[in-house]
Amino acid sequence: MSTVKVGKSLGWIGFLLLFHSAYSTYEHLSYLKAVDKIPNYMPIEITVECLVSVSICTIGIILAAGPLKPILIKHELAKKTIDEIDTHPSFNTFNHRGRLMKCF
Amino acid sequence: MAPFDYLGAIETLHELRKSGERKSGLVVSLGERLLRDYTGKLGDEVWPVYEQVFISALDQGNDALAKTCFEKLEKRFPGSPRVKILEGMKLEAEDKLDEALRLYDEILEKDDSNIAASKRRVAVFKAKGQDQQAMETLSKYLDDFYNDAEGWLELSDLYLKFHLYQQAAFCLEELILLQPQNHFYHLKFAEILYTSDTSDNITLALKEFCRVVELCEDHVRALYGIKLVNYYYFNYFNSVI
């Protein structure tokens, strides 16, 4: 399996876990409200699940993004050929031998 | 026969449009097939493709294809200045240079900021063989639109035609100001300085060759330039001693 696929599935797993921890928080808070307690702490399971899911998500996104590209413009320009840089298409003239060499 | 890879063809044409490379044969062969069988797949991109294929067809002397492209464009965008420029190019290809020039002047009379028309005027002067006039027109144009890299590149080429190295070097200086990251401008500047052959310029040429290697490692042309400058110094010092 390619890294991109692994990354994508990790990303989804992380997202589902994150969603689950959010839902658990909501459940927990509504339970505390129902039994009339002050919500001043969160159970350690929910906190751990939330943190772990965020890290899984991050790893997944990094893997899915593919290889990184250099940020400096000189790397991009170094790949170009002279034909691509030294070209002035707006000044092309048409009275050349191209007309007679149609077959090429 | 392998099926025609129309997605690849669209991609290639797009890349060529962006880079401005002059590969008219390739554009015509891909574009002709694309416009015949796959116009529906192109969507709104079909108009730039028509324009591109039209210009390449003129370059190749394929008048029938050029005519169909032009008719399509004229029907879709009647009275558009961009299509008028294409009409002028068609006149140029038919060697009716004076008529083309008149058409461009007409466009410029209505809208003197039409960049394409100003540039085509220079091309017409070039085609007529009036390079002096082309140089004058182009430098006047660059007075107004000084950030047009393509124009400066063309002007330096025109100057080089007449061995006016100092003026050509000035154009390259402007280009380096516009795009200091572009190694090719440094390379061309260095080569012009090396060719103009005075000892001050050679020192600057060496600096510029080194700059090219700094911007783009393993640049063989620049490395060879450094070698040539070294030969120059070697002979120079030998003659002094």
- Alpha-carbon distance of A95 to B126, in angstroms, equals 10
- Alpha-carbon distance of B34 to B41, in angstroms, equals 9
Residues from chain A contacting residue B55 (CB–CB below 8 Å): 89, 92
Report the domain count for chain B: 1
Which residue positions in chain B have pLDDT lower than 50?
A: none
The band of A83, judged by pLDDT with boundaries at 50, 70 and 90, is confident
Beta strands in chain A (DSSP E): none
- Alpha-carbon distance of A29 to A13, in angstroms, equals 24
B48 belongs to a structural domain = no
Q: Confirm if B49 and B34 have CB atoms less than 8 A apart.
A: yes
CA dihedral sign, ordered B53, B54, B59, B63: positive
Mutation choice for B interface testing from A74, A75, A76, A91 by most B CBs within 10 A? A91
The answer to whether A89 contacts B59, with C-beta atoms less than 8 Å apart, is no
- Alpha-carbon distance of B230 to B14, in angstroms, equals 43
Pick from B3, B6, B27, B28: nearest CA to B15: B27
B196 belongs to a structural domain = yes
- At B2 the pLDDT is 62
B61 belongs to a structural domain = no
Q: B99: which 2 tokens?
A: 């008529």
- At A46 the pLDDT is 92
- The CATH number covering residue B214 comes to 1.25.40.10
- At A40 the pLDDT is 78
Residues from chain B contacting residue A84 (CB–CB below 8 Å): 19-21
Assess whether pLDDT exceeds 90 at residue A94: no
**The model's pTM:** 0.78
Mutation choice for B interface testing from A90, A97, A100, A101 by most B CBs within 10 A? A90
Closest residue in chain B to residue A96, using alpha carbons only: B59
Using DSSP's 3-state secondary structure scheme, residue B173 falls into helix
B225 belongs to a structural domain = yes
Residues from chain B contacting residue A73 (CB–CB below 8 Å): 181
Domain that holds residue B184: 146-241
Buried b (16+ CB within 10 A) or exposed e, B41-55: ebeeebeebbbbbbb
Placement of tokens 């320009």 in the chain:
A77
Residues from chain B contacting residue A89 (CB–CB below 8 Å): 20, 22, 55, 150
Q: Which residue from B21, B59, B151 is facing A87, i.e. has the nearest CB?
A: B21
Instruction: Give the end-to-end CA distance of chain A in Å, rounded to a whole number.
Output: 46
The answer to whether A89 contacts B93, with C-beta atoms less than 8 Å apart, is no
- Alpha-carbon distance of A30 to B116, in angstroms, equals 68
Mutation choice for A interface testing from B51, B98, B118, B181 by most A CBs within 10 A? B181
Q: Which of A6-15, A95-104, B174-183, B192-201 has the lowest mean pLDDT?
A: A95-104
Residues from chain A contacting residue B188 (CB–CB below 8 Å): 86
Closest residue in chain A to residue B21, using alpha carbons only: A84
B38 belongs to a structural domain = no
Distance between A59 CA and the closest CA of chain B, angstroms: 32
- Alpha-carbon distance of B216 to B210, in angstroms, equals 10
Buried b (16+ CB within 10 A) or exposed e, B218-241: ebeebeebeeebeebeeeeeeeee
Pick from A66, A53, A55, A60: nearest CA to A11: A60
**Chain A residues with CB within 8 Å of chain B CB:** 73-74, 77-78, 80, 82-95, 98-100, 102, 104
Closest residue in chain A to residue B89, using alpha carbons only: A94
Using DSSP's 3-state secondary structure scheme, residue A81 falls into coil
Q: B52: which 2 tokens?
A: 């591109």
Buried b (16+ CB within 10 A) or exposed e, B144-183: eeeebebbbbbbbbbbbeeebbebbbbbbebbbeeeeebb
- At A24 the pLDDT is 93
- At B151 the pLDDT is 93
**ipTM attached to this prediction:** 0.74
